[in-house]
Amino acid sequence: MDPSRDNPDLTEERRKAKFDPEKLGNFFWQGQLKRRRQICDYVQAQGTELAPAQPVPFMTRMEKLEDVARLSVGMRKHAENVIDVGSPQEQFYFNSLICGYDGSPFHLHFIMALPAMINNCDEEQAAEWLPKLFNCEIIATYVQTEMGHGTNLKALETTATYDASRQEFVFNSPTITSTKWWPGNLGKTANFAVVMAQLYTNGKCYGAHPFWVQLRDIETHKPLPGITVGDIGPKFGIGSNDNGFLRFNNYRIPRMHMLMKHAKVLPSGEYVPPMHSKVGYTSMMYVRSVMGEIRPGAGEVKVLDYQTQQYRLFPQIARVYAIAFTGIYIMDMYKSVMANINAGDASLLSDLHSLGSGLKSVTSWQTSLGIEQCRMACGGHGYSEASGLPALYTMAVGGCTYEGENMVMLLQCARSLMKLAAELRSSDRINQRDGKKCANPVTGYLYNVSPPQKCRISQESGPDAYLEAFEHVARRNVFRAYERLDQLRKRGRSAEEAWNESGVELTKASKAHTMNFLAKTFVERTKLMDDPASRAVLENFVSLFLSYELLHCAEPLLEDSFISAQQMEYVRLKMYDSMQRIRPNAVTVVDSFDFTDAELKSVLGRRDGNVYEHLLEWAQKSPINAHDVLPFHDKYLGNYMKETLCRVWHRAIHCRVQSQRARPRHFCCSAHFGSPLTQLTAHIDPFIAQKQ
Amino acid sequence: MDPSRDNPDLTEERRKAKFDPEKLGNFFWQGQLKRRRQICDYVQAQGTELAPAQPVPFMTRMEKLEDVARLSVGMRKHAENVIDVGSPQEQFYFNSLICGYDGSPFHLHFIMALPAMINNCDEEQAAEWLPKLFNCEIIATYVQTEMGHGTNLKALETTATYDASRQEFVFNSPTITSTKWWPGNLGKTANFAVVMAQLYTNGKCYGAHPFWVQLRDIETHKPLPGITVGDIGPKFGIGSNDNGFLRFNNYRIPRMHMLMKHAKVLPSGEYVPPMHSKVGYTSMMYVRSVMGEIRPGAGEVKVLDYQTQQYRLFPQIARVYAIAFTGIYIMDMYKSVMANINAGDASLLSDLHSLGSGLKSVTSWQTSLGIEQCRMACGGHGYSEASGLPALYTMAVGGCTYEGENMVMLLQCARSLMKLAAELRSSDRINQRDGKKCANPVTGYLYNVSPPQKCRISQESGPDAYLEAFEHVARRNVFRAYERLDQLRKRGRSAEEAWNESGVELTKASKAHTMNFLAKTFVERTKLMDDPASRAVLENFVSLFLSYELLHCAEPLLEDSFISAQQMEYVRLKMYDSMQRIRPNAVTVVDSFDFTDAELKSVLGRRDGNVYEHLLEWAQKSPINAHDVLPFHDKYLGNYMKETLCRVWHRAIHCRVQSQRARPRHFCCSAHFGSPLTQLTAHIDPFIAQKQ
């Protein structure tokens, strides 16, 4: 580090600072600034041993998995040399320096599996498994989520059926949707797992319970017979985590592998309920589980029936129409402007240029945000590249930058709006009545000499009153920006300084101008639909667009009392009403876009809706799944698990029990993941107390 | 396609539709629905020949480049069989079905290079090169953007210096920042390019002009001596496009390769300016170029001096503090709640749970949006994985979904708020004065029996008046949601239906409740900073946070006239004022976070600010750049270019000139990219007219 070779712009910036960054930094890091630097220096001094083999973006997923296995084993040798392994902050920093932030093979082991075992093992189980877990003689994960069910514990379908004749539980995945899906490190790393499954005994179901399930052979690391396990395939990010899937086919575990701290199944098959209901795992999960239903007991409803889901998705469809219809309009306008120019009339050229800049910016950003909302509305599966949505987003969001960065585009649009505003402010009223200018479809509204001063929206009003409101927002924002510019000029700023200091207001003017045009064009184009049933559908989307978008730019309407609180309420009611009207036609509207499966390349967005079997099929094609055991497994994780030296556990227990130090050094292992040590301590303390 | 096997939920939805999707679809696609299906059927009938070799997400970038080369050559054999090659819509659809939407090797050739040549070639140049370009005997791209300069044409640094003794132009890349960067298909595909460079002749610079530059050998496809060209490395998306870099080292081209339709350089070196200024390329680019300066002539300023850039970045830093400080508070609260529970008092548990749910949702989304703003604020380079921002985003945005989907979390937070609201509405006023409840740091504000009815924000007011406003928003949203619930119940909805139909309002209540807590905690924690200079810095961020966030939730404040228009103006002025105060310390504030380069893994976010040389170094490590010529080049593109059968050109000209059909079939070639045919027609028509 040689500051004299720094970029001089940065050096100048640093020189100008009016405070000491060490002091602010130390406050931010709660006094740990010095420690952070010691840790960083140590890691860097180890060179390639604790550094990525190459920049991560150049690695294939296989290479990422290998490198993080190498690093996560490597860092353990060093942890106690440099960090206080009892400090979550230090652990977290140490881990992020070496393994990055995409997870490591031990991530779920410590953050989920170990706490779940501590919480749910009875004494005998704890004595057998906790030492192995702390020692990493095995690597475990926590397996709850199924393909068809996220947070709804009651809906889990995996079954664990007690067979009294052999004192075993028989695991099955009776449907495609029961396939366990998403657990981190499940695909290739973990050889054991805490698995949530519906417990059946003596012919009765007692609900979801946790079981301790071996997945892979300790020696060979191969999946055991009856187990199908693999990687779920590439995701939007976190490529170095082998999030996995798991299916059971008459897979048997001993009775004693049901985790029996709370509920039990006796050898006879008799179910012994927990002393208190909702203890242990259930207490944490119950609340989340009840969110899965609208009417309790009626089962899971279609996600489209949730108002919050409609609110996410339907406005995006409305925007599709508004944007597509405006695109058609603009293409026609382009042709007619070109024809006019050839005939010697370039009067509409600047409007076209300005509008094009505004539309480029507003629509590319709305499109990107919309794709992300759709992706997140799919829950976890949207994050998988199987959904096609990650690639769609990264492609579309590029449009916010290339061919004119969006902020620059908005300012360019504002250029011509400000020219127009200056003209209008300086010209007399007669000129403003110029019929041709008032009729201009893009800027005509600015020439209106007597625009309405009060909003006319009522409970029954159609699009016109809404369009007036959009015009009001646009007019107001344009002239406000102009006045700010003008005032700054009068206060002595140069034209360029005034322009810069008005930047944010100028972009607001451009956005409002553009939104006004989108709204107007959507309304106009919809009138051209001659099939009444289809036009009724479009009109619902027009209503939604007008109400939804108006609520998102209501501030100027309210600020000068153009709109009343009562009218705002009408707008909201219109929005909710539009969503309800859209609901029954929603799927068919999406059908009508006629996007084929071949074009969408999405396992989720498929015509037949049979998403789960195809998701499983898709994942199985992943190159990672060409190997039951990854080629580098033995070299790093396999070898590490077999070095069974009771590495940490004994020290941990002894240290904790004997010294009663506030920060025992017994969580060296947890340095892998920056675990919430507080939580882990809360789990382990009662267990240790028992042992004393 | 067998609808009887469709997911029955979807079938039911389709059955319920009240309109005919064929009619709406045909309106949306402007009457082209039937054609789309014919095209799709044709493509699917070709099987693997026109389909990706495997799902795109499983491919490495090298595999993606190979597959799109195969497909883009393959589709040309079929285009005329199935599409009207004069229809941009059909071209676009055909292309997207086969090549996807990430671009293809011919993308820039048709969309940029060919129009640039038509616009800038003189007659002789046109006669020589246009047939070759239409025929794809060569593949060209358009090269303007440099590493250090996006849209500012005047700032380009690449030089083309005329050497009269040899009648050649000598090209050089005098600095790192002059490296051409980003042009699509430049890395490995194009063997020619239209290159923008500063023209020097007889010792004088005449500004940026277009030149026709051969990059690679026609036979071997190897870069020519004096040319360094390669792929810029992986990006957020569009992995199948070889966006490239290009450097010149005394590379010579013939004088006649300056594109001389407008300006000329005579053999003597005399410069002949264009007949009209700002013609041709300059007319399109001039406007964009003037956006690069605040004071014309003063050169490019630091991007941080743009108000719009500050508006993008500084609020994100403010949020970092608000979120981090709240994190510290929550961890302390967690510990004390746990201690209380052990002492038998669980009164704060539901507050903690509820607040945690709200914070999880609000902060994960703010963080994700903030990262995207930072990425886009870096312009094009933010889109490169070199910036580290794409990976940061994909990791962070996962947090909006996992461990409790954000909408679900907001509804969970609302659960306890609604319980509280019901309690407060039903209890008498005495209870509400309960001192302990009023003092509750999370929900105490809801117990306030006499909250201010008017906002106290003035030009001078500090945080307290702002915090009152946040409390007002939260209180209002909470009780509005409660009242909606209550009304729906009174109108006969079940509790669950009412809850669902209030979903959006409930999430707004949770967000406002959470924002209120974030604001309050930020203000409080800042008081603990004992270094006055650092505290002053933090206070500016507090001011920015309070003003920026309040402007983004102002609707409820305005709607019930809590705040006046004048006060809104004070809030805006506070925001602009805070940004100005932050500006001089901005870089050092970011330094004070003490993130090391090793941790950030960003070529842009580096301490020394020397981004450009490291960007070039980084790109050169890309696996794609291990090959000067990609291993599959000859098989697809190389072979295709050499099949010089005057494939399209003659037919094109003849067809156009002789038949005068409205939609000539002369753009078969353009079917590669879904080109804006209108634009291309506008370019080619005058050229054809000349030929007649």
- Rounded to whole angstroms, what are the CA distances from B173 to B155, B188, B197, B386? 13, 19, 10, 22
CB atoms within 10 A of CB B193: 31
- Cβ-Cβ contacts under 8 Å, A408 against chain B: 151, 288, 291
Mean pLDDT calculated for residue range B605-631: 94
3-state per-residue secondary structure call for A581-607:
HHHHHHHHHHHHCCCCHHHHCCCCCCC
Give the pLDDT confidence of B259-274 residue by residue, as tens digits.
Answer: 999 999 999 999 999 8
Per-residue pLDDT of B565-599, as tens digits, reads 999 999 999 999 999 999 999 999 999 999 989 88
Identify the DSSP state of B229: E
Interface probe for A, chosen from B534, B579, B602 (most Cβ of A below 10 Å), is B534
Distance CA A57, CA B617 (A): 14
What pLDDT was estimated at residue A299?
Answer: 57
Q: What is the mean pLDDT of residues A221-235?
A: 97
| Nearest residue of B to residue A47, measured between CA atoms | B598
Banded model confidence at residue A336, pLDDT cuts 50, 70, 90: confident
The model's pLDDT over A252-301, given as tens digits with 9 standing for 90+, comes to: 999 999 999 999 999 999 999 987 654 444 333 333 333 344 555 555 67
For residues A183 and A243, the answer to whether their CB atoms sit within 8 Å is: yes
Q: How does residue B403 score in pLDDT terms, banded at 50, 70 and 90?
A: confident
Banded pLDDT at B280 (limits 50, 70, 90): very low
* Set of chain A residues whose Cβ sits within 8 Å of the Cβ of B19: 531, 533-534, 536-537, 585, 588
A31 is in an annotated binding site: no
Give the Cβ contact number of residue B98 at 10 Å. 25
Window A:627-656, CB contacts with B under 8 Å? none
Per-residue pLDDT at A306? 94
Strands B168-172 and B251-254 come out as: antiparallel
- For chain B, helix (H) and strand (E) counts, in that order, are 29, 11
Q: What is the pLDDT of residues A96-106, one digit of tens each?
A: 899 988 888 98
Work out the angle between the directed axes of helices A565-582 and A307-342 (0-180°, nearest 10).
100
Residue A501 tokens, joined: 């200091």
Residue pointed to by tokens 């590493």: B147
Q: In whole angstroms, what is the distance from residue A62 CA to residue A73 CA? A: 17
Range from A183-192, B70-79, B513-522 carrying the lowest mean pLDDT: B70-79
Characterize the bridge pairing of strands B159-163 and B192-201.
Answer: parallel
Mean pLDDT for A609-623 is 94
- CB < 8 Å to A533, chain B: 18-20, 23
Report the distance separating Cα B628 and Cα B127, nearest Å.
31
Q: What is the rounded (10 degree) CA torsion for A639, A641, A644, A647?
A: 110
Give the per-residue pLDDT at B300: 59
Computed over every residue of chain B, the mean pLDDT equals 88
pLDDT digits (tens, 9 = 90+) for A124-158: 999 999 989 988 899 999 999 999 887 678 889 99
Name all contacts of B451-454 with Cβ < 8 Å and 24+ positions apart. B451/B475, B453/B562, B454/B562
Three-class SS state of B480: helix
B1 vs B158, more confident:
B158
Contact (Cβ atoms closer than 8 angstroms) between residue A196 and residue A145: no
Q: Is the pLDDT of residue A91 over 70?
A: yes
| Interface with B, mutate which of A26, A587, A602 (most B CBs under 10 A) | A587
Q: Does B342 touch chain A (CB under 8 A)?
A: no
What is d(CA A467, CA A474) in angstroms, rounded to the nearest whole number? 11
Task: Please give the average per-residue pLDDT across B128-133, as a whole number.
Answer: 91
Mean pLDDT, to the nearest integer, of A627-645? 88
Contact A232, A181 (CB under 8 A): yes
Taking an 8 Å cut-off on Cβ atoms, the answer to whether A24 and B51 are in contact is no
Instruction: Please give the DSSP secondary-structure letter assigned to residue A182.
Output: -
Contact yes or no for B671/B76 (Cβ under 8 A): yes
In this structure, what is the dihedral angle of CA atoms A351, A354, A360, A361, given to the nearest 10 degrees? -140
pLDDT of B89 over the 90 cut = no
How far A266 CA sits from the closest chain B CA (Å)?
A: 32
Task: Over range A597-611, report the average pLDDT.
Answer: 92
State how far residue B67 is from chain A, nearest Cα, in angstroms. 15
Tell me the C-alpha distance between B442 and B524, whole Å.
13
Please check if B145 is assigned to a binding site. yes
Whether the per-residue pLDDT at B685 is higher than 70: the answer is no
Joined together, the tokens standing for residue A93 give: 């920093």
pTM, two decimal places: 0.91
- DSSP for A4-33, please give it: GGS-HHHHHHHHH-SS-HHHHHHHHTTT-H
Q: Identify the burial level of A274 via C-beta atoms within 10 angstroms of its C-beta, where 0-12 means exposed, 13-18 middle and 19 or more buried.
A: middle
Q: Is A212 exposed, middle or buried (0-12, 13-18, 19+ CB in 10 A)?
A: buried
Look at B592 and A382 and tell me if their CB atoms are within 8 Å: no
Q: How far is B432 from chain A (nearest CA, A)?
A: 27
* pLDDT for residue B279: 45
Q: Note the pLDDT tens digit of each residue in A340-370.
A: 887 888 878 888 889 999 999 999 999 999 9
For the record, the structure tokens of B186 come out as: 């430049």
Tally of CB atoms within 10 A around A605: 19
DSSP A175: S
Over range B279-285, report the average pLDDT: 40
Given the structure tokens 């240790």, which residue do they identify? A688
Nearest chain A CA: its distance from B296 CA (Å): 8
Closest of B464, B468, B418 to residue B448, by C-alpha:
B468
Check the CA dihedral A289-A291-A295-A299 and report its sign. negative
The Cα A407–Cα A465 span in angstroms is 30
Is residue A173 within 8 Å of A251, Cβ to Cβ? Answer: no
Distance CA A188, CA A221 (A): 9
Cβ-contact A371, A393 below 8 angstroms: yes
Average pLDDT of the residues of chain A: 88
Apex CA B66: angle with CA B61 and CA B69, to 5°? 125
Query: Element (H or E) spanning B241, and its range?
Result: none
Q: Six-digit token pair at B600?
A: 């950030």
Spatial separation of the C-alpha atoms in residues B168 and B182, rounded to whole Å: 27
Residue type, B182: W
> Cβ of B22 and A96 within 8 Å?
no
The kind and range of the H/E element at A247 are strand A244-248
A496 - beta bridge partners? none
pLDDT at A337: 84
**Contacts with B, A 384-413, CB within 8 Å:** 385-386, 390-395, 397-398, 400-402, 404-408, 411-412
Q: pLDDT at residue B290 above 60?
A: no
For residues A402-420, average pLDDT: 93
Name residues 93-132 of chain B within 8 A of A (Cβ).
Answer: 93, 96-97, 100-102
- What are the beta bridge partners of residue A205? A200
Length of chain B: 692
Farthest-apart Cα atoms in chain B, separation: 99
- Is A150 within 8 Å of chain B by CB? yes
Residue A111's pLDDT band, with cuts at 50, 70 and 90, is confident
Which residues of chain B lie closer than 8 angstroms to A232, CB-CB? none
pLDDT of residue A431: 59
B555 catalytic per annotation: no
At residue B146, the 3 state secondary structure works out as strand
What is the rounded distance in angstroms from the CA atom of residue B566 to the CA atom of residue B461? 14
Task: State both tokens at B464.
Answer: 């307290």
Determine the pLDDT at residue B654: 41
Interface test with B, best of A341, A353, A395, A506 (most B CBs within 10 A): A395
B28 against B282, higher pLDDT: B28
Least confident window among B217-231, B369-383, B418-432, B618-632 = B418-432
Q: What is the pLDDT of residues B501-511, one digit of tens each?
A: 999 999 999 99
Average pLDDT over residues B389-406: 93
Range B335-341 contact pairs with CB under 8 angstroms and sequence separation of 24 or more: B335/A678, B338/A682
Active-site residue, selected from the candidate residues B128, B168, B403, B599:
B403
| pLDDT score of B667 | 38
Residue A575 has pLDDT above 70, yes or no: yes
Amino acid letter, A582? I
What the block records as the tokens of B277 is 């200024």
Nearest Cα to A188, choosing from A128, A133, A107, A243?
A243
Query: Which two three-digit tokens encode residue A533?
Result: 């049933």
In this model, does residue A605 exceed pLDDT 50? Answer: yes
Residue B324, pLDDT above cutoff 70: yes
